[in-house]
Amino acid sequence: MSEYEIEGDVVCPACGSWPLHRRECWCEDGWVWGYDEDPLWYDPDELIPCTECDGVGFELWCPRCGADMRRPEWRAAIEAQWAELDKLYEEAAR
């Protein structure tokens, strides 16, 4: 995985800290070819979630409290923040 970047659009749902840190995964989109991972279990054209990023395509964490935003309870909160930002951006573009 690459060096981390600053994710400044959202705050940590665990402690309220800002900004969060983000690192892109080598898989790019959260999916890998299963056959490359284990040819005994997967067909050559079968995609599976990446085990390093849990199928997200990146890591997102709080540098203050260490909360991993891939955990379901934090991921839902982050996605809600992103959805709210999308609405604000759309309204501002009008």
pLDDT tens column, 4-24 = 889 888 899 999 999 999 999
Quick one: which H or E segment has residue 91? helix 72-93
Quick one: which H or E segment has residue 48? strand 47-49
pLDDT band of residue 1 (cuts 50, 70, 90) is very low
Question: Which structure tokens are listed for 6?
Answer: 């600053």
pLDDT tens column, 36-79 = 888 899 998 999 999 888 888 889 999 999 999 888 888 889 88
**CB-based contacts of 83-88 (< 8 A; 24+ apart in sequence):** 85/9, 85/10
pLDDT of residue 2 exceeding 90? no
Q: In this structure, which amino acid lies at residue 38?
A: D
